[in-house]
C-alpha cells in the first residue's frame, strides 16, 4: 500500500486526509494518507525522513511551500512559476518531483462553475503566494487579461513583472484600480478567515459575472456577502472546490487516475 501525508503547521484542521480517502474509495485505489506537523524550521529533516521510510508523496501547506520548492530535485513549469510547491512525488528512480496544483485546482473549479475562461478579464485581489500560484494557470486557460491589485502597490507591480511576456498582466494598489470592466473577481487574500473584506472600491463588482473567494467556510464568506451586496446579479463561490481540485491534481500525479471532483465537494461541504 502506497503511503502519503500532508505537511503543515498547524495541520489538525486539514481536510486532505478526508479528501484523499474519498478519492481512493471512488477510484478503488489502496492508499494510506496521514498528517505530519514538523516544527517550522524542521521541514527538511521531516520530509527527508518521511521519504526514507518509504512514503510515496506529500501535500504541503503553510508554512512549508517554499521549503518544499527548495527541497525538490526537479520542478514542474507551474511550480517554477509559482515559486512554491504543494505536491511532492518520489518517483521510481528515487528523485523527488515538486509540483504546484493550486492554480490548476482553481481553474478547474472556475470552469466547473462558470464554463470557459477564454477571453475573460480577471481581477486578482492580493499579491501574495496564493496569487502567484494561479497566474500562469489562468493565462494558460486563455483569460484575456489579469489585473493584480494589492494594498502595497509595489508588490503587485513586482508580481506582474514576473509574468511579463506570458500574457496581459497589469497591476496597481487598492486605491487606483483602473475603471475597467472585470468579468471575474478573485479574492486571493485571507481576509475572510477573520470576517474582514479587502479595502478596495466596490466599483469592481459593478459589471462582474462572478466573485470567487479562495478561502472557504460553512456559510458564505464575508467577501461573498460583500460582493452580493454590491451586485445582486453576481454569482459567488468560496474556494472549497479549489481545495478539492488541487487535491485531485495531486492524486492524478501520484496515481495516474483522475477522480471525480463534484461528489467529493458535496461530501466535504456537508461536513463543514
**For residue range 150-203, what is the model confidence (pLDDT) as tens digits?**
999 999 999 999 999 999 999 999 999 998 899 999 999 999 999 999 999 999
Strands, DSSP E only, in the chain?
2-7, 31-36, 57-60, 74-75, 87-90, 96-99, 121-125, 145-150, 169-173, 184-187, 210-213, 235-237
* pLDDT < 70 regions, the chain: none
Candidate CATH numbers 3.40.190.10, 3.40.50.720, 3.40.30.10, 3.40.50.10860; the one for domain 2-100+241-271: 3.40.50.10860
> What pLDDT is attached to residue 180?
85
* Catalytic annotation, residues: 65
User: What gap in Å lies between CA 176 and CA 171, rounded to an integer?
Assistant: 9
Q: Cα angle at 67 between 23 and 214, to 5 degrees?
A: 50
Domain boundaries, the chain: 2-100+241-271, 103-238
> What pLDDT is attached to residue 258?
97
Whole-model pTM: value is 0.95
Candidate CATH numbers 3.30.360.10, 3.40.50.720, 3.40.47.10, 1.10.940.10; the one for domain 103-238: 3.40.50.720
> What pLDDT is attached to residue 55?
97
Amino acid at each position: 500500500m502506497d503511503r502519503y501525508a500532508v505537511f503543515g503547521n498547524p495541520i489538525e484542521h486539514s481536510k486532505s486526509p478526508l479528501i484523499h480517502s474519498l478519492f481512493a474509495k471512488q477510484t478503488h485505489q489502496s492508499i494510506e494518507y496521514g498528517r505530519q506537523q514538523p516544527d517550522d524550521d524542521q521541514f527538511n529533516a521531516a520530509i527527508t525522513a518521511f521519504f526514507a521510510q518509504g512514503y510515496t508523496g506529500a501535500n504541503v501547506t503553510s508554512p512549508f511551500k517554499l521549503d518544499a520548492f527548495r527541497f525538490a530535485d526537479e520542478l514542474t513549469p507551474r511550480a517554477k512559476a509559482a515559486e512554491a510547491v504543494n505536491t511532492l512525488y518520489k518517483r521510481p528512480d528515487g528523485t523527488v518531483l515538486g509540483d504546484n496544483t493550486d492554480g490548476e485546482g482553481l481553474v478547474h473549479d472556475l470552469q466547473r462553475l462558470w464554463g470557459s475562461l477564454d477571453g475573460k478579464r480577471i481581477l486578482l485581489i492580493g499579491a501574495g503566494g496564493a496569487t502567484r500560484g494561479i497566474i500562469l494557470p489562468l493565462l494558460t486557460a486563455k483569460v484575456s487579461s489579469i489585473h493584480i491589485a494589492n494594498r502595497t502597490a509595489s508588490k503587485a507591480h513586482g508580481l506582474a513583472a514576473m509574468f511579463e511576456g506570458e500574457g496581459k498582466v497589469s497591476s496597481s494598489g487598492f486605491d487606483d484600480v483602473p475603471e475597467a470592466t472585470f468579468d471575474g473577481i478573485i479574492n486571493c487574500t485571507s481576509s475572510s478567515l477573520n470576517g474582514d473584506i479587502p479595502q478596495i472600491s466596490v466599483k469592481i463588482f459593478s459589471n462582474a459575472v462572478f466573485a470567487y473567494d479562495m478561502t472557504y467556510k460553512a456559510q458564505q464568506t464575508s467577501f461573498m456577502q460583500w460582493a452580493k451586496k454590491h451586485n445582486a446579479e453576481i454569482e459567488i463561490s468560496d474556494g472549497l472546490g479549489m481545495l478539492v481540485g488541487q487535491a485531485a491534481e495531486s492524486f492524478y500525479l501520484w496515481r495516474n487516475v483522475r477522480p471525480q471532483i463534484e461528489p467529493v465537494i458535496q461530501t466535504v461541504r456537508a461536513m463543514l
